[in-house]
Structure 1
Amino acid sequence: MQPSVLILGIGNVLWADEGFGVRCVERLAARWSFGPGVTVLDGGTQGLYLLPFMEAADRLIVFDAVDYGLVPGTMKIVEDEAVPAFMGAKKMSLHQTGFQDVIATAQLMGYCPDHLLLIGCQPEELEDYGGGLRAVVAAQIDPAIEVALARLRDWGVEMRPGMSDATYLADPSIRQDAYETGRPSADVACRVGDARFFPGEG
């Protein structure tokens, strides 16, 4: 019997390489269709709202930008009990619940998936508001997807070329191609904040 699998991309696409995980699930969903029991989800920065999806899954694959302190663009694979510690390596935003906390809560409530696979990429740039992925990070999307596909095959998951159900993906207007090609120049849209609110600025 095919396991119930959650394929999850997390991160904030507004902050450059922080969007790596979300862009991975978008591309995966655009190219592959899966058998019953597989959910492809743009988890964004939803934090604890992801718990119902965790409860329904036997196995979890997570794509994310994780600051391991490595060379930008380095991909690192972490599995099972090691995943929570590595998810805690990243504190990208004070305004979102870290995924480490989501896993811990699921464990306490007794419905954390039996198997966890984290496919992480070291970001290059996180301070570019409205920015897209840097080239070294974007180049890891396809290799990251290949890692996920190999594991899904090992788990006996049915798959074929095609498109996944897009129910749990972001609106097409903010997916990678539309978002990055429609981005205004730095002259028009400040990347780091509004200079009018910086101390000492006129």
Structure 2
Amino acid sequence: MDDDRILVLGIGNILWADEGFGVRVIEALDERYELPGHVSVLDGGTQGLYLLPHLEDAAAVIIVDAIDYGLPPATLKLLRDDEVPAVLGTRKVSLHQTGFQEILALLRLRERAPRQLLVVGVQPERLDDYGGGLTPAVAAQVEPALAAVLRLLAEEFGVVATPRRSRERFTAPAISRQDYETGRPSAQAACRVGDARVLAGRPRG
């Protein structure tokens, strides 16, 4: 473990509406700010145990995610240290949180758990919309969540983020938030029953 290494980790699945919140916050952070060399920014997606090597070497981790706090939709809440596994273990919104529980347990078993664990989480409004972007209420919390991450970096670790002179692409263009959310086909244009090549001989009626 590096004594000063900090990992800022966004986890979630952009394909399921508000599930992608953590990834979108991290996307905005890395596109707009430069951070010192000992601070890493990672889109963890839903990789589960594959994130273990990234977490093992971090002294502190800031996670951004959509979490079922049992609060009104789009509510932001900060968790610290022992609060994190307690909440993730009782209130799951997706399978990736089950995987993250396993990661935390393994880190403790291997005595490689970060000294500080912080979570900036939002209460999702909708998850069951495949191909959908963030709901308006949750999308409105991207900037406050980004500000919360920057504040934690400054206040907890003395890390100052510097605005980039020009924005960089953190994600591939097709799945960047702007292109992904504006390029979604209509329900009429998108096939909802299967691949037309496979269905070509399907009886009608």
Q: Shorter-chain TM-score: which interval?
A: 0.7 to 0.9
- Bigger mean CA deviation after superposition, 155-164 or 142-151: 155-164
Poorly superposed stretches of 4+, deviation over 4 Å: none
Segments of 5+ residues of structure 1 without an aligned counterpart are 196-201
Find the aligned partners of 2:184 and 2:63 in 1 and give their Cα distance: 27
Deviation at 1:26, TM superposition (A): 0.1
Give 1:55 deviation, angstroms: 1.1
Matches within 5 A, 1:35-50: 35-50=36-51
Shift of 1:70: 1.4
Q: 1:96 deviation in Å?
A: 7.6
Question: Deviation of residue 50 (structure 1)?
Answer: 0.4
Shift of 1:69: 1.8
Query: Based on CA coordinates, which of the two structures has the bigger radius of gyration?
Result: 2
Partner SS, residue 9 of structure 1: strand
Name the amino acid aligned to 1:172.
Answer: P
State the partner residue of 1:104.
105
* Aligned equivalents of 2:173, 2:3: Cα separation in 1: 30
Runs of at least 5 residues in structure 2 that lack an aligned partner in the other structure = 195-204
Q: Shift in Å at residue 194 of structure 1?
A: 3.6
CA distance in 2, matches of 1:163, 1:180: 25
Aligned residues: 193
> Distance in 2 between the 1:3 and 1:163 partners?
26
Distance 1:163 1:19, change over 3 A: farther
In 1: Cα distance, 2:131 partner to 2:164 partner: 30
CA distance in 2, matches of 1:39, 1:10: 14
Residue 163 of structure 2 aligns to which amino acid in structure 1?
P
Aligned equivalents of 1:2 and 1:69: distance in 2? 35
Q: Match of 2:130, as an amino acid? A: Y
Structure 1: how far apart are the matches of 2:114 and 2:165?
A: 25
Measured against aligned partners, the alpha-carbon deviations of 1:41-97 in whole angstroms (never above 9, x if no partner) come to: 00000001101110121100000001112111011111011111122211413x885
Q: 1:21·1:64 contact (CA, 8 Å) conserved in 2?
A: yes
Question: Which residue in the other structure is 1:161 paired with?
Answer: 163
Alignment partners' CA distance in 2, 1:44 and 1:90: 16
Give me the whole-angstrom Cα distance separating, in 2, the residues matched to 1:170 and 1:48. Answer: 22
Specify the alignment match of 2:64 in structure 1: 63
The amino acid of 2:43's aligned partner reads D
Counterpart residue type for residue 29 of structure 2: L
For normalisation by structure 1, the TM-score amounts to 0.87
